[in-house]
């Protein structure tokens, strides 16, 4: 049976164009996240409509921590493969792999692995969550592992609230290498092409905007070519709909020798009802590259005040934890 005929598997590919990349030709991490989410949304929506009942769309509720293993370049073909790997009663997990193919040399590289959680929402009433049809597992072990991932993310989603910290505008003449110096905000008016069939913003569109702001913050701090290294788990707490203005703010929280952690806060407000709410928040990690795409040292961050120090310490804790996890994963593989 061919790939695109299997309901629970989907392949998507696209050639990378100048608009997908920065000026030195590295494809923006945000564009990769957007393709990942498009594939996840298609495979999830298709699966949840393979039953009777209201028509529905899969709405993104969570993305697990995602690493960018290699940069992708203009002219390469991105292959995105999405597969449903677990289904609970009301949500499903989609695992996605991204491969970059150089069609001139034939070289292929795995650039990303991601795991996304979706919930099917009725097209008639977006607040009505539909039931998810069961999937077939290769064996009991596979189902058991999926259930564990499901329980873990459920717990974490319940514990985590959207970080409701206020965004403080930077001082008017900030000193270089301070948090205020590189802090950046963009706003975007949500148009029809950003939206799903029920007029809510695709999760992938939001992630692309977040990556864009984080990239500007990183470039301002170190004045070099920068690329996305990883994104921490993101929970989508509130939906954003057509006609909203989204305000996306990024600020440095922590800087190690070779990487920067940027907190990105997404606020949405309707143009006609000016109440603002925090829709999403996440931590992006960026690294700085030289002309040969090798990592460069990152200038230290000048901390000012207690809040910045607290965020720095928290970022440091996340950094140490992630390092330990990566080491443990490597050891398991050996």
Q: Which two tokens stand for residue 319?
A: 């950094």
Contact assessment for residue 63 and residue 39, using Cβ atoms and an 8 Å cutoff: no
Across the chain, where does the E strand assignment appear?
A: 9-15, 56-63, 66-68, 77-87, 92-101, 108-122, 184-189, 225-231, 234-236, 244-255, 260-270, 276-289
Query: What are residue 76's phi and psi, to 5 degrees?
Result: -80, 155
Query: Which of the stretches 110-118, 271-279, 312-320, 323-331 binds a second copy when contact is defined by CB under 8 A?
Result: 271-279
Site string for a second copy, 218-257 (x = CB under 8 A): -xx--xx-----------------xx-x-x----------
Binding status of residue 260 toward a second copy by CB under 8 A: no
For residue 49, indicate whether it is catalytic: no
Contact assessment for residue 195 and residue 201, using Cβ atoms and an 8 Å cutoff: yes
Cα distances (angstroms) measured from residue 198 to each of 18, 37, 45, 50, 244:
31, 16, 12, 19, 14
CB of 193 to a second copy, least distance (A): 5
CB of 146 to a second copy, least distance (A): 23
Can you name the residues that pair with 286 across neighbouring β-strands? 228, 260
**What string of DSSP letters covers 32-98?**
HHHHHHHHHHHHHHHHHTSSSSS-EEEEEEEE--EEE-S--BTTPEEEEEEEEEEE-SS-EEEEEEE
Binding status of residue 129 toward a second copy by CB under 8 A: no
Which entry of 211, 225, 235, 267 is annotated as an active-site residue?
211
Query: What are residue 238's phi and psi, to 5 degrees?
Result: -130, 145
Binding status of residue 138 toward a second copy by CB under 8 A: no
> What residues numbered 88-127 form the site for a second copy, per CB under 8 A?
101, 103-106, 123
> What residues numbered 275-334 form the site for a second copy, per CB under 8 A?
none
> What residues numbered 139-168 form the site for a second copy, per CB under 8 A?
166-168
Residue in 61, 65, 75, 160 binding a second copy, rule: CB under 8 A? 75
Binding status of residue 79 toward a second copy by CB under 8 A: yes
Binding site for a second copy (CB under 8 A): 2-4, 7, 10-15, 17-19, 22-23, 38, 41-42, 45-46, 49-50, 55-57, 74-75, 77, 79, 101, 103-106, 123, 166-170, 172, 176, 184-189, 191-193, 197, 212-213, 215-216, 219-220, 223-224, 242-243, 245, 247, 271-274
**Which residues have a catalytic role annotated?**
22, 211
């Amino acid at each position: 049976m061919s790939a695109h005929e299997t309901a629970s598997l989907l392949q998507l590919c696209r050639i990378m164009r100048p608009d997908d990349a920065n000026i030195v030709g590295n494809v923006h991490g945000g564009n990769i996240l957007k393709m990942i989410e498009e594939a996840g949304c298609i495979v999830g929506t298709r699966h949840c409509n393979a039953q009777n009942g209201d028509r529905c769309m899969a709405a993104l509720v969570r993305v697990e921590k995602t690493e960018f293993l290699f940069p992708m370049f203009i002219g390469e073909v991105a292959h995105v493969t999405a597969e449903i790997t677990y289904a609970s009663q009301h949500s499903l997990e989609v695992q996605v792999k991204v491969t970059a193919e150089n069609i001139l040399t034939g070289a292929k590289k795995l650039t990303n692995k991601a795991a996304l959680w979706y919930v099917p929402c009725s097209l008639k009433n977006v607040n009505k969550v539909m039931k998810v049809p069961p999937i077939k597992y290769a064996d009991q072990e596979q189902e058991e592992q999926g259930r564990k991932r499901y329980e873990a993310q459920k717990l974490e989603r319940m514990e985590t609230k959207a970080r409701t910290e206020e965004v403080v505008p930077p001082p008017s003449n900030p000193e270089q290498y301070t948090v205020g110096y590189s802090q950046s905000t963009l706003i975007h008016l949500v148009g029809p092409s950003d939206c799903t069939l029920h007029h809510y913003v695709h999760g992938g569109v939001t992630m692309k905007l977040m990556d864009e702001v984080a990239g500007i913050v990183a470039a301002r701090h170190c004045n070099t070519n920068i690329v996305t290294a990883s994104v921490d788990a993101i929970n989508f707490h509130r939906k954003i709909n057509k006609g909203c203005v989204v305000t996306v703010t990024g600020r440095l929280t922590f800087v190690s020798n070779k990487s920067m952690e940027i907190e990105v806060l997404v606020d949405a407000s309707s143009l006609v009802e000016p109440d603002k709410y925090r829709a999403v928040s996440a931590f992006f990690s960026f690294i700085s590259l030289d002309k040969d795409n090798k990592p460069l040292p990152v200038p230290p961050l000048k901390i000012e005040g207690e809040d910045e120090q607290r965020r720095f310490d928290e970022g440091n804790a996340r950094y140490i934890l992630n390092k330990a996890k990566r080491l443990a994963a490597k050891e398991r593989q050996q």
